[in-house]
Amino acid sequence: MGSHCAPLNLWQPYLFVWQTFTRFHLNHLVAVAKIRFLFEDKSIPEKTVVGDLEGRSILEITEEYDIHLSHNCGGVCACSTCHVYIEKGEEFLEEISEKEEDFIDRAINPRLESRLGCQCIILDNDADIVVTIPDQRRIIGHEH
């Protein structure tokens, strides 16, 4: 019986390495961010985006996934047209800066959960965020 166990013992270090490697890669493949977009304009259906979104802004994601969000300054924190409400997941975003706060004060209907989409950088792929996009028809310079 002992002779049959010897080959298994030889494979155990390799099995451990394989299990560790597989666990490491599965954990990295499973970690994807999720952003659920809601709209004040109820004629627009909600949309959920799931993927590798770490390091990208809410504005960049709306552009890539064909979600309309105005950005008259081009996304450089020089206006308030990409104003959004972060309903859930603020902890997954970079902290708000004083400059961003100044522009939020100029936004239409700012609230406590107001942010600028161009400044909302996703910090990691474990993010679970809910964003409400204000009615874009009220924004000067808005286009569909």
Query: 0.75 cut: is pTM over it?
Result: yes
List pLDDT tens digits, range 101-143: 999 999 999 999 999 999 999 999 999 999 999 999 877 664 5
Record the tokens describing residue 101, joined without a space: 């706060």
List pLDDT tens digits, range 70-113: 999 999 999 999 999 999 999 999 999 999 999 999 999 999 99
Give the domain CATH number at 79.
3.10.20.30
Range of the domain at 69: 32-138
Q: Give 108's DSSP letter.
A: S
Rounded CA separation 25/18 (Å): 11
In a domain, 87, yes or no: yes
Average pLDDT for the chain: 85
Residues 7 and 73 in one domain: no
Q: In one letter, which amino acid is 103?
A: F
Residues 46 and 96 in one domain: yes
In a domain, 143, yes or no: no
